[in-house]
Chain A
Amino acid sequence: MAYAYLFKYIIIGDTGVGKSCLLLQFTDKRFQPVHDLTIGVEFGARMITIDGKQIKLQIWDTAGQESFRSITRSYYRGAAGALLVYDITRRDTFNHLTTWLEDARQHSNSNMVIMLIGNKSDLESRREVKKEEGEAFAREHGLIFMETSAKTASNVEEAFINTAKEIYEKIQEGVFDINNEANGIKIGPQHPTTNSPLSTSQGGQHAGGGCC
């Protein structure tokens, strides 16, 4: 139950690209073809393990509709990671990435890890955006990239977990100041170092051995 770190994520991107479906697949391992339009922001949470440490992901799934943008922008701040999602079957959602990226960079902290996601990879026949295009965009802007399918669950785990790994590495490198909650990272409840057997996993001695 207790976690070593809590990371705040945001999911952003055009309406209908599958943000809420990705979240549902990640948290509940199920797919819901028809989803209500997200109003403002909705939430999901899941525990993952990286380097032997329990990490809680607290995910803010934002509304994609343009008209909600001024509200959802408020939620960017204090996120450690962002999943920027487009739909590989709709070119316009890919074309809007630049705007999303600018928005995200402007309203969040500069160290935020951004994962670019081309969703709906199961709909190969309707593909409008080549995988290479996504890769190129990611390379150009310094993002991590993956194609996923919220429907088949392909790469969904990986997308969330790889983002967390990147954040975790940044913590190890000292890029993130974990004591500043504006970075979207919280340290879990402190175990008393003396008597709790659970606290051993929190100790620094494991840090070197991690391979994930």
Chain B
Amino acid sequence: MSEKMSDSETPHSESDGTEGAPGIQDPSPAETAGSSSASIPDNSTDVAPTRKARRRPETKPAEETRPTPKAEEEQQPAKTPSESTVSQGGWGYWGSWGKSILSTATATVTTVGQGLTQVIEKAETSLGIPSPTELSAKVEEEEKHQGEGSSETEKSATDGSSPAGGAMGMFSSLTSVVQTTGKTVITGGLDALEFIGKKTMDVIAEGDPGFKKTKGLMNRNASLSQVLREAKEREELQTAKKESSDTEKKVVAHYGMLFDEFQGLSHLEALEILSRESESKVKSVLTTLSGDELIQLREELDQIKESFSMVEFDDEEVDDKKDEDGTEFEKDLTSAVDGLSVSATENKLIKACQNARSTISDMSVPQEDGEETERTHSAEDVHATAIRSLAELTARSIELFHKLAEMILFSNGSTDANVLSQLTVVLCKEISLLSKKFTSCLTTAGFKEKGDVLNPLITGIFLEASNSASYIQDAFQLLMPILEISHIQRRAGRAEQ
């Protein structure tokens, strides 16, 4: 695990975990003071290794990728150095998704009103998750606060760990880990929310040396489908165990298994095959060239690469009021894939979204208090539906990317990488929007529930939503070598004429 550290030079929370024994739940803030003072001097140099350690070395330097609002934040000196490092790094575009999660939570609060705020306040004391309103409003202050009041937060986190651990068990890629490192994730509430997804993986993987598999996600050599498959297998095992040991326990929603059921894994695997093959073809073409020819092709390929490192997801645009019926999404999606001959897959995706939306509106019907309680949807129902919808949507999105890859290779027509990045944004927005809707629906459904029941469910949806967005972005990255080889082949075709 020490090489992991030197590998990534990532945030404090990792170093905490790595220093301590695996079981130690010591959350970040306590050591933030210590480790941040240590890392402040080399804060500037820290940026480079971080980026190098990422799976996408092609990602452009942070200065170019990071969205403007992010840039402002990063100038805040109060920001924990290691954290800003991460957001500046390979996940430049990721940071903005994190932001959207924050405002998502805020949006939920405003929509639902008091209810959730109370829930979250409760949760805050029991789980150490800072209030979302607070989070998005006063990010730096919160960070300071975290740093100072860390020991307090820690203690409460340890106390409130069991409900969180239980719910966390449902998270796809996180399954087993979180039970041991859950508190790291939760206590660093801000981290967890802000860099949820990939960042979470980071924290978890680093925090739990025993969990080498998850670490695979950070490793370019391990394929994404492999990681997902393993996560799914663990879930299957868990389910099997639960069935034998505790029959009355409710069936929990397993993202990974559902994702596989919708053939998401297979499409991902196939996409990876195409991507790998294209990558090696590109490499072999490059070795046959020399001199000006090589320089020129390199430049052309760099242009393609650039489009893949500039995905910006401006969450200001994600307004859950705006796209109530999903027509906006359908329009965006259709215009993004227009002319790419993937209408069958596109329709599947649209249908999945429509289903999700209609389920949400069914579940959101205001329910009478009292006699109808039995017929109403429980918070667990909503949660299970949300996870299922997210898994389906993600699987369909990856199917779409796979079909796009096939059509690009098949037709060898010119495909603009920017169109594909636009598509990625559209899909991630939809995921974000749906997760907002689901959580607000969940809060309504579970208004009677206690915070320690409701909150892990809400966090669960956001986590899977961010994982979903992360898988979609990874699938998008797999298209890069495909566009490159397609470009090379078109070029060769032109030369022959």
In this assembly, does B266 line the interface, its C-beta being within 8 Å of a C-beta of chain A?
Answer: yes
In this assembly, does B236 line the interface, its C-beta being within 8 Å of a C-beta of chain A?
Answer: yes
In A4-58, which residues have CB < 8 Å from any B CB? 36, 39-41, 43, 45, 58
Interface size counted on chain A using CB atoms at 8 A: 24
Residue of A nearest to B229 (CB): A186
Task: Check A58 against B240 for contact (C-beta < 8 Å).
Answer: no
User: What distance in Å separates the Cβ of A106 from its nearest Cβ neighbour in chain B?
Assistant: 15
Task: Check A196 against B244 for contact (C-beta < 8 Å).
Answer: yes
In the complex, which residues of chain A have a beta carbon less than 8 angstroms from the beta carbon of B58? none
Q: How far is the CA of A191 from the CA of B243 in the complex (A)?
A: 14
Q: How far is the CA of A204 from the CA of B277 in the complex (A)?
A: 38
User: What distance in Å separates the Cβ of A67 from its nearest Cβ neighbour in chain B?
Assistant: 7
In A40-88, which residues have CB < 8 Å from any B CB? 40-41, 43, 45, 58, 60, 67-68, 70-71, 74-75, 77
Consensus secondary structure, chain B interface: helix
Do A2 and B236 form a contact, CB below 8 Å, given A196-B241, A198-B244? yes
Choice from A60, A67, A189 contacting B233 with Cβ under 8 Å: A189
In this assembly, does A142 line the interface, its C-beta being within 8 Å of a C-beta of chain B?
Answer: no
In the complex, which residues of chain B have a beta carbon less than 8 angstroms from the beta carbon of A45? 263, 266
Consensus secondary structure, chain A interface: mixed
In this assembly, does B234 line the interface, its C-beta being within 8 Å of a C-beta of chain A?
Answer: yes
Task: Check B406 against A40 for contact (C-beta < 8 Å).
Answer: yes
Residue of A nearest to B254 (CB): A1
In this assembly, does A208 line the interface, its C-beta being within 8 Å of a C-beta of chain B?
Answer: no
In this assembly, does A209 line the interface, its C-beta being within 8 Å of a C-beta of chain B?
Answer: no
Q: How far is the CA of A190 from the CA of B159 in the complex (A)?
A: 33
Task: Check B403 against A1 for contact (C-beta < 8 Å).
Answer: no
Q: How far is the CA of A60 from the CA of B274 in the complex (A)?
A: 14
In this assembly, does A197 line the interface, its C-beta being within 8 Å of a C-beta of chain B?
Answer: yes
In this assembly, does B273 line the interface, its C-beta being within 8 Å of a C-beta of chain A?
Answer: yes
Task: Check A39 against B403 for contact (C-beta < 8 Å).
Answer: yes
Residue of B nearest to A37 (CB): B344
Task: Check A189 against B234 for contact (C-beta < 8 Å).
Answer: yes
Do A71 and B344 form a contact, CB below 8 Å, given A40-B402, A40-B403, A40-B406? no
Q: How far is the CA of A197 from the CA of B245 in the complex (A)?
A: 9
Q: How far is the CA of A61 from the CA of B1 in the complex (A)?
A: 42
Task: Check B236 against A189 for contact (C-beta < 8 Å).
Answer: yes
In this assembly, does B162 line the interface, its C-beta being within 8 Å of a C-beta of chain A?
Answer: no
In this assembly, does B267 line the interface, its C-beta being within 8 Å of a C-beta of chain A?
Answer: yes
Task: Check A197 against B406 for contact (C-beta < 8 Å).
Answer: no
Choice from B233, B239, B244, B410 contacting A40 with Cβ under 8 Å: B410
In the complex, which residues of chain A have a beta carbon less than 8 angstroms from the beta carbon of B257? 1
A-B contact pairs, 28 of them (CB 8 A): A1-B236, A1-B239, A2-B237, A36-B344, A39-B342, A39-B344, A39-B407, A40-B270, A40-B402, A40-B403, A40-B406, A45-B266, A58-B266, A67-B410, A68-B406, A70-B409, A71-B410, A74-B273, A74-B277, A75-B273, A188-B233, A189-B234, A189-B237, A190-B237, A191-B237, A196-B240, A197-B244, A198-B244
Q: Which residues of B pack against A, CB within 8 Å? A: 233-234, 236-237, 239-241, 244, 257, 263, 266-267, 270, 273-274, 277, 342, 344, 402-403, 406-407, 409-410
- Given pairs A2-B236, A191-B237, 10 additional interface contacts (CB within 8 A): A1-B240, A40-B403, A43-B267, A45-B266, A60-B266, A71-B274, A71-B406, A74-B274, A189-B236, A189-B237
